[in-house]
Every structure is written in structure tokens, then in C-alpha cells.
Structure 1
Amino acid sequence: MVAQKSYRITFIVLSFVLIACFLLNISLGSVGIPLDGIFAAFTGGEIEKETWRITVLDIRLPKAIAAVLVGFGLSLSGLLMQTLFRNPLSGPFVLGLSSGASLGVALLIMGASIFGGFLGTFLLSSYSLVIAASLGSFLVLLTVMAVSFRVKDTMSILIIGLMFGSITAAIVSVLTYFSDAEELKQFMLWTLGSLGNLNWEELSILSFLIVLGIILSIISIKSLNAFLLGENYARSLGIDIKRSRYIVIIATSLMAGSCTAFVGPIAFIGLAVPHLTRLFFNTTNHKILVPSVCLIGGILMLICDSIAQVPLSEITLPINAITSMIGAPVVIWLLVRKRKMIF
């Protein structure tokens, strides 16, 4: 009872920290907006400057929501992959989803120069990039799933996913080699990631996919706990290994694939947050880990985005660069002390 109470208090504290980071993220930017101005924008009350209301509701609020959703999705995807493969260095993109998305976008950008004219303009619309990235991730997922039907060993699926990722990355390298400067710049901008390009309709689609992935993860909690002790132990508990494995892979694909499609590849969040959460909570119970990685992932993404905005400056840094600068030292630290790592 004491442990449960302490976890409950910790969850409440993390929830308040998430809300505080959310409000801080909205208040920061090239123009600082006080909290009373933010609340006035939310409630429709009197506000000092009408431009603040537009900035809060149309620009900063969607971006902050996107940061939370991406933090939830990537962190939980990383936890699922690390548990499924029992590998502390697995991340949400070990199945080649990110490489598949990159291939789809690379093919689209190259296709724009081939088709040209109206079709080229249509191909490079915001939705077309999302669709191309989604199709690329989905095709890689289908290929991995098709091959996995003939493979019983979970680690073999990991290796297959990494190999498909390498193949798609190689094709992307060839395409970028033959692309011109403008196409290469557009592709590189996509790979840097951006949370600020989503409208409310795109946010609703991303929210639906992330929530669906979270629901599948919650359904899989019992299986995930059993996977930690090996597949033979899971079978002894009456768990259908193949069915549970596919549910976990589909949940990861929904969350990681949709995040990559809408905001581009975001590094290290899915790799580092699950380890930080295990160390913070000192547990491997997924009943605790599933909600906690979402909270910590959302907090970390909001912090990274706040740093990327360079408060009171017109400069906005690439979000992928900030997550890498924060996440890479965390992974190095975890590797140095891996004998103490909870897994």
C-alpha cells in the first residue's frame, strides 16, 4: 500500500510538472507572453494585445500539443521495443520505420522534379509529405511482418528490421546523391524535424493514432511483464506469443510511424526516456512504466522544444538537434553504468 501511495504521489507530481512545462512552452518564444495573457487567450477574456491570442491559439498551442503527443508516442514505442527484444539499446525505429519514412519522402521529393508542373506542386504539399512518410513506414512494416511469419525467434525479427532499415537508408543515400541543391535542402529540413507545422486537423489525426497505440500498449501490459522473463515463461502463463508480439509491433508502428510522418524523425527520446523512467521509479512493472514513460517523455519533449525556441529570440533551432544533444549524453551515461541498469 505504501509503494502504491508513493507511485500515486509521483504520478500527481509528474502531471503537474507536465502542465507547468506545457504553459512555460506556450509562454516562451520570440515574444514572451505572461501566464495571465495565456489564460485570457484560452478563456476568451480581455487580453493586453490581440496578437497574443492569435499567437497562443494558432501557433504555440498546436505546437505544444504536438510536443506532448510525440513525447508520449516515441517514449512508449521505445519501451515496447526494449521489452519485446529484451535489448536496452532498442528504440522505436529498430524495425526500420524511420528509414522507410525517409525513403517515402525522398522518393516524393525526387518525383516532384520528374513530374513537374501542377503535379509537382501537389506532390510537395504538406499532406503529401505526411502520406509519403506514412506509406514508406507502412511498407517497411508490412515487409518485416511478412518475413516474421516465417521466423519464430524474436531477436531474428530485430535483425530483419535493422537490415530493412539499412536497405532503405542506402536507397535514400543514392537518391540524395543524385538530387539537386533545392531538393536536398528540402529533404534535410524534413530530417531535422519540426513540431510547428501541424494544423488542428493533422493534430486530430496524430492524436487518434497515438491514443490507439497507447490503448494497445495498455492491453499488452501483462504480456510485456511476462516477456521480461523470457518467451518460455510467457508461454507457461498461457500467453499467445505471436499474437502478443504482433500487437506490440503494431502499437509501436502506429505511434512511431505517425510521429515520424507528421513531425519528421526525432532522435533519442524513444531510446533514453524508458531507461530514465526505470531508474526514476526503480521498477520493471509495465503497469507503472507505461503511464510514467508517457509523462516523462512529454515533459522532456516540451523542455527540448522550449530550448529550441531560443526564448526572446527570432532563432528557432532544429528540434532533432536539441533532442540529440540531450539524449546522447544520457545514453552514454547509461552505457557507462550498464551493470546497474534496471532491465
Structure 2
Amino acid sequence: MLNQRKYTFSIILLFLAVILTGLFNISLGSVNIPISEVISSLLGLEVEKDTWKYIIVNYRLPKAITAIITGSGLAVSGLLMQTLFRNPLAGPYVLGLSSGASLGVAIVFMGASVFGASFAVILLSKWSLVIASSLGSLLVLFAVILASIRLRDTMAILIIGLMFASLTAAIVSVLAYFSPASQLQQYVFWSYGSLGDLSWDEVGILSLFWIVGILISIGSIKNLNSLLLGEQYARSLGTNIKKNRFAIIIATSLLAGSITAFAGPIAFVGLAVPHLIRQIIPSANHITLVPAVIFGGAILMLLCDIIAQIPGSEYSLPINAITSLIGAPVVIWLLVRKRKFNF
């Protein structure tokens, strides 16, 4: 009981940290806006400069919300995959969803070299990239779902996901080989990831997918806890393994697939955050872990975005580069420590 109270207090602190980090994220950028003015704008009060309010409402606030959705969604996806496969190095993209999305976008960007220039003229738009990315993720998702229905071994699903990732990566490589430098450059820029290109309509659609994915994840908490002791023990508790596996895959696909479609492939967040949270809250209970990971992922993504913006400068760094700089050392640290995991 004492530990649970301590964990609850930690979760409350993480929630407050999300709010504070979000305010700093909106405040800092090429134009630094005082936090007091940010708060006034969010509360609908008068702001000293109209340009500040325009920047906050139309650029900074959608970007901050996107960062929160992206970080929390990928972090929860990573937690689900690590629990399902009982593998500390599993992440939200082990099912091949990111590779499927990359294939869809690669066909749009580099399809002109294969299908003709008119193909690119028709399809090259913001929404066409989102649709192509979503279709690519769905294609891989359907294949993984079919595999999960036919296979009893969960690890076999992991291997199939990795094989699909290799297959789609090979097709992307073939397209890249025959594409001119300009089209290849567009694809590379997309692969860097971006949080600042979404309109309010796109943020709303992404939020809808996020809500559904999080609700499915919360509904799977009891079954996730039973999986920690192995599938045989989970079956003895009355857990329907196939149904539970299907729900986890759907939740991960909704979260990781939609985030990749709108923000691009963001690396390492889903892999690193669950482990970082376990250092703060050493609990195996997903009732505690899921909300903590949601807030932890949001904080990390907001911090990475602040660093990527290089406050006070007109330049910015690729968000993927920053998340990798933070995530890669975490993975190395995990391997070096060889600590005992709760899987």
C-alpha cells in the first residue's frame, strides 16, 4: 500500500512535469515568448503582442499537442510490445508498421521514376503522404494479424514482423536506386520526422486514433499483467491469449501507425521510455506503468522538440536525430548493465 501511494505521487509529479514542459515548449523557439504570455493566451486573456498569440495558436500549440500525442503513443506502444514478446528490446515498430509506412511514402515520392512523372504530380500532397503511409502500415498490419490468428507462438509473430520490415526496406532500396536525387532527398527529409507540419484538422484526426489506441491499451491492463508470468500461466488464469494478442496488436498499430503517418518514423522513444519509467517507478503492474509511460513519453518528446528547435535560433534539427541521441545511449546502457527485467 505504501509503495502504491509512492507510485501514485510519482505519476502526479509526471503529470505536472508534462504541463510545465509543455509551457516551456510553447514558449521557446525562434521567437521566445514569456511563459506568462503563453498562459494568458491559453486562458483566452489579452496578450501583449498579437503576433505572439498568432504564433501560439497556429504553430506552437498544435506542435506541442502533436509532441504529447507522439511521445505518449509511441511509449505505450513500446510497453505493449515489450510485455507481449517479453523482450526488453522490443519497440513499437517491431511489427514492421514503420517499414510499411515508409514503403507507402517511398512509392509516392519516388514513384515517378518507375510509374512516370504524372504519378507524382497527382499524388504528391500532404494528405496523399498520410494516406500512403497509412495504407502501407495497414498492409503490414493485416499480414501480422493473419499470422497471429494462425500461429500459437508469439515469438514467431515477432520474426514475421521483422521479415516484413526487411522485405519493405528492400523494395524501398530498389525505388531509391532508380530515383533522381531530388526525389530521394524528399523521402530522406520525411524520414527525419516532423512535429510542426500538422494543421488543427490533422491534429484532431491524430488525436482520435490516439484516444482509441490508449483506451484499448487501458482495457488490456489486466491481461498484460497476466502475460508477465508467461502464456501458460496466463491461460491458467482464463486469459484468451489469441484475443488478448489481437487487442495488443491493434492498439499498437493504431498508435504507431497513425503517428508514423502524420509525424514520420520517430525512433527510440517507444523503446527507451518504458525502461526510463521503470527506473522511476520500479513496478511491474501495468495499472501503474501505463499512465506513467504516457506522461513520461510526452515529457521526453517535448524536451526533444525543445532541443531540436534550438531556442533563440532560426535553425532547427531533425527530431529523429535528437530522439536517437537520447534513445541509443539508453539501449546501450541496458545491454551493459544486464539487469533483471520484469518480463
Report what 1:272 is aligned to: 272
**What CA distance in whole angstroms lies between the structure 1 residues aligned with 2:236 and 2:45?**
60
Correspondences of 1:28-107 after superposition (within 5 Å): 28-107=28-107
- Tell me the SS of whatever aligns to 2:111: helix
**What CA distance in whole angstroms lies between the structure 1 residues aligned with 2:147 and 2:11?**
40
Correspondences of 1:186-335 after superposition (within 5 Å): 186-335=186-335
**What CA distance in whole angstroms lies between the structure 1 residues aligned with 2:275 and 2:40?**
39
Correspondences of 1:152-191 after superposition (within 5 Å): 152-191=152-191
Task: Please tell me the root mean square deviation across aligned C-alpha atoms, in Å.
Answer: 1.2
Counterpart code for 1:135: L
Q: Deviations over 1:71-126 (max 9, x none)?
A: 11100000000000001110000000000000000011123454535x63341111
TM-score, scaled to structure 1: 0.97
Counterpart code for 1:309: Q
**What CA distance in whole angstroms lies between the structure 1 residues aligned with 2:35 and 2:279?**
33
Report what 1:135 is aligned to: 135
- Tell me the SS of whatever aligns to 1:149: helix
Query: Do the aligned partners of 2:62 and 2:200 also contact (CA within 8 Å) in 1?
Result: yes
**What CA distance in whole angstroms lies between the structure 2 residues aligned with 1:5 and 1:231?**
30
Report what 2:117 is aligned to: 116
Poorly superposed stretches of 4+, deviation over 4 Å: none
Mean alpha-carbon deviation: is it higher for 21-30 or for 122-131? 122-131
**What CA distance in whole angstroms lies between the structure 2 residues aligned with 1:157 and 1:89?**
15
When the two structures are aligned, how many residues end up with a matched partner?
342
**What CA distance in whole angstroms lies between the structure 2 residues aligned with 1:32 and 1:297?**
24
Q: Deviations over 1:189-210 (max 9, x none)?
A: 0000000010111111111111
Query: Do the aligned partners of 1:106 and 1:187 also contact (CA within 8 Å) in 2?
Result: yes
TM-score, scaled to structure 2: 0.97
**What stretches of structure 2 of length at least 5 have no aligned partner?**
none
Query: Do the aligned partners of 1:112 and 1:124 also contact (CA within 8 Å) in 2?
Result: no
Q: CA offset at residue 307 of structure 1?
A: 0.2
**What CA distance in whole angstroms lies between the structure 1 residues aligned with 2:313 and 2:341?**
39
Q: CA offset at residue 8 of structure 1?
A: 1.8
Q: Structure 1 residues 161 and 284 mapped into 2: Cα distance closer, same or farther (>3 Å)?
A: same
**What CA distance in whole angstroms lies between the structure 2 residues aligned with 1:212 and 1:147?**
23
Identity of aligned residues (%): 61
Q: Deviations over 1:209-262 (max 9, x none)?
A: 111111111111111111111111010001111000000000000000011010
**What CA distance in whole angstroms lies between the structure 2 residues aligned with 1:234 and 1:44?**
51
**What stretches of structure 1 of length at least 5 have no aligned partner?**
none
**What CA distance in whole angstroms lies between the structure 2 residues aligned with 1:333 and 1:18?**
25
Q: CA offset at residue 150 of structure 1?
A: 2.1
